[in-house]
């Protein structure tokens, strides 16, 4: 018998026994070795409609294939029982095992730890899309709000690979993480616009927001004239009212781009060009404790659950 976490009501979670369905054609069953955690896990559960409950939780996992549907290949090609894989985007990843579409399953690079593989793709694909839609290119200096967070750290690394320079906001305690990935850290809070101007005397080409505060948005609007080069993943209302870009994994264009970039991100990670700093792992049974850390807004890196 497998076990999984479900949301039973907004903000209420339960760890339950469940039967893992056998894979049909186009599906595989994965025994989970690490389940990635993201703010979306608790946010989506908090705002789901009554009809959505019980709601499976967890969008990404790494593990071992234990069964594969007839005539089925995984996204990276081949695939068989015993293969080590990662999967994103899945439903119900906070589980000991689950059955998922094979199109979302990729071979796991041997160099990645389970918890790294399980936390690579949601943040990585989000960052890749933010850079893509704002047309970040070599020679640009860009502003990243929340550069010390999971998406922020992926943005720092992917921007550097493009040849762009990043000025990134963070708490003073997180400056070292921003610098480690090539960013110039600046503290958020009063005076942010002047600090960014001081760190980027040649101007800011694009602003990428992972925080969603009015401060982050107002400073972005003050520094970047072209609203098509401002993107947020956390302030959709401001994007609508002020006419800049808002991204969300369930929007069709975002989903298409993020799905298409997964294989490339795995290659970068395999080559050691894209790291995932994991702050902490928790036993799967302790997911509630992990959610509290995530909700606090300063997890210090990715969190993963280990069955
Ligand atoms: N729309 C999408 O497609 C999408 C996809 C992924 C994530 N998201 C959203 O994007 C946000 C970031 O996700 P993540 O996974 O990177 O989160 P995370 O790893 O938990 O990082 C949180 C970040 O927020 C910063 N922060 C916390 N409170 C702050 C404040 N009051 N002012 C400024 N910065 C503050 C933290 O910086 P310090 O610790 O240095 O202060 C840290 O960098 C979340 O809201 C998440 O829900 C959206």
CB atoms within 10 A of CB 167: 23
pLDDT of residue 189: 97
Number of separate domains in the chain: 2
Q: What is the pLDDT of residues 265-276, one digit of tens each?
A: 999 999 999 999
Q: By alpha-carbon position, which residue is closest to atom 4 of ligand 1?
A: 233
Ligand 1 binding pocket includes 297 (Cβ within 6 Å) = yes
**pLDDT at position 34 over 90:** yes
**Statement to judge: residues 191 and 281 lie in one domain:** no
Q: What is the pLDDT of residues 60-80, one digit of tens each?
A: 999 999 999 999 999 999 999
Nearest ligand 1 atom to alpha carbon 246: 1
Q: By alpha-carbon position, which residue is closest to atom 48 of ligand 1?
A: 233
**Statement to judge: residues 92 and 165 lie in one domain:** no
Ligand 1 binding pocket includes 170 (Cβ within 6 Å) = yes
Query: Average model confidence (pLDDT) for the chain?
Result: 97
Q: Minimal CA–CA distance to 265: which of 131, 93, 96, 98?
A: 131
Torsion of CA 189, 191, 193, 196, to 10 degrees: -90
Q: Are 107 and 84 in contact (CB under 8 A)?
A: yes
Instruction: Dump the DSSP string for 1-66.
Output: -EEEEEEEETTEEEEEEEPPPPP-TTEEEEEEEEEE--HHHHHHHHH--GGG-SEE--SEEEEEEE
**pLDDT at position 207 over 90:** yes
pLDDT of residue 152: 98
Q: What is the pLDDT of residues 228-259, one digit of tens each?
A: 999 999 999 999 999 999 999 889 999 999 99
Asked whether residue 271 is assigned to any structural domain, the reply reads: no
> Which DSSP letter does residue 173 get?
G
Gap between the Cα atoms of 154 and 38, Å rounded: 14
Asked whether residue 258 is assigned to any structural domain, the reply reads: no
DSSP reduced 3-state for 71 = coil
Gap between the Cα atoms of 9 and 55, Å rounded: 8
Gap between the Cα atoms of 295 and 183, Å rounded: 25
Q: How far is the CA of 299 from the centre of ligand 1 (A)?
A: 9
**Statement to judge: residues 163 and 240 lie in one domain:** yes
**pLDDT at position 131 over 90:** yes
Q: How far is the CA of 255 from the centre of ligand 1 (A)?
A: 20
**Statement to judge: residues 241 and 129 lie in one domain:** yes
Ligand 1 binding pocket includes 298 (Cβ within 6 Å) = yes
- Written as six digits, the tokens of 10 are 């907004």
**Statement to judge: residues 11 and 106 lie in one domain:** yes
**Statement to judge: residues 132 and 220 lie in one domain:** yes
pLDDT of residue 1: 87
Q: Which of 246, 262, 287 is the last residue of a domain?
A: 246
pLDDT of residue 127: 98
pLDDT of residue 64: 98
Gap between the Cα atoms of 159 and 165, Å rounded: 7
pLDDT of residue 125: 98
Which positions ≥6 away from 116 have C-beta within 8 Å?
269, 275, 276, 278, 302
Which positions ≥6 away from 119 have C-beta within 8 Å?
34, 36, 37, 60, 150, 276, 278, 302, 303, 304
> Which DSSP letter does residue 95 get?
B
Asked whether residue 286 is assigned to any structural domain, the reply reads: yes
pLDDT of residue 159: 98
Q: Which domain holds residue 54?
A: 2-120+276-306
pLDDT of residue 116: 98
Q: Which of 198, 224, 246 is the last residue of a domain?
A: 246
Ligand 1 binding pocket includes 141 (Cβ within 6 Å) = no
Average pLDDT over residues 207-219: 98
Ligand 1 binding pocket includes 156 (Cβ within 6 Å) = no
Q: What is the pLDDT of residues 281-292, one digit of tens each?
A: 999 999 999 999
Whole-number percent of the chain with pLDDT over 90:
98
Pocket test for ligand 1, best of 118, 151, 155, 175 (most atoms within 8 A of CB): 151
Q: Are 44 and 37 in contact (CB under 8 A)?
A: no
Which positions ≥6 away from 278 have C-beta within 8 Å?
113, 115, 116, 119, 301, 302, 303, 304
CB atoms within 10 A of CB 209: 29
Average pLDDT over residues 155-167: 98
pLDDT of residue 191: 98
Average pLDDT over residues 109-116: 98
Q: Are 147 and 185 in contact (CB under 8 A)?
A: yes
**Statement to judge: residues 7 and 78 lie in one domain:** yes
Q: What is the pLDDT of residues 78-112, one digit of tens each?
A: 999 999 999 999 999 999 999 999 999 999 999 99
**pLDDT at position 123 over 90:** yes
Given the structure tokens 């996204």, which residue do they identify? 75
**Statement to judge: residues 229 and 128 lie in one domain:** yes
What is the pTM for the complete model shown? Answer: 0.98
């Amino acid at each position: 018998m497998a076990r999984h976490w479900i949301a039973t009501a907004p903000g209420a979670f339960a760890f339950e026994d469940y039967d893992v369905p056998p894979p049909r054609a186009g599906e595989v069953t994965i025994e989970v070795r690490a389940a990635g955690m993201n703010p979306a896990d608790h946010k989506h559960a908090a705002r789901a409609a009554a009809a959505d409950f019980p709601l499976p939780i967890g969008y990404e996992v790494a593990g071992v294939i234990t069964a594969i549907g007839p005539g089925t290949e995984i996204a990276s090609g081949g695939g068989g029982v015993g293969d080590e894989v990662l999967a994103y985007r899945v439903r119900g990843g906070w589980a000991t095992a689950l059955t998922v579409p094979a199109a979302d399953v990729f071979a796991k690079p041997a160099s990645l730890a389970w918890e790294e593989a399980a936390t690579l793709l949601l943040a990585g694909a989000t960052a890749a899309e933010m850079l893509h839609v704002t047309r970040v290119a070599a020679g640009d200096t860009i502003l990243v709000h929340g550069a010390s967070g999971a998406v922020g750290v992926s943005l720092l690394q992917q921007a550097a690979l493009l040849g762009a320079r990043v000025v990134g906001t963070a708490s003073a305690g997180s400056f070292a993480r921003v610098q480690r990935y090539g960013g110039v850290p600046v503290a958020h809070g009063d005076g942010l616009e002047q600090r960014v101007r001081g760190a980027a005397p040649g101007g800011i080409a694009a602003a990428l927001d992972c925080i969603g505060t009015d401060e982050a948005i107002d400073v972005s609007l003050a520094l970047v004239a072209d609203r098509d080069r401002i993107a947020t993943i956390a302030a959709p209302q401001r994007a609508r009212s002020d006419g800049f870009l808002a991204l969300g994994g369930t929007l069709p264009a975002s989903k298409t781009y993020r799905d298409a970039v997964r294989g490339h991100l795995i290659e970068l990670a395999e080559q050691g060009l894209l790291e995932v700093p994991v702050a902490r792992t928790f036993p799967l049974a302790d997911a509630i404790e992990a959610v509290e850390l995530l909700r606090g807004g300063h997890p210090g890196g990715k969190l993963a659950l280990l069955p």
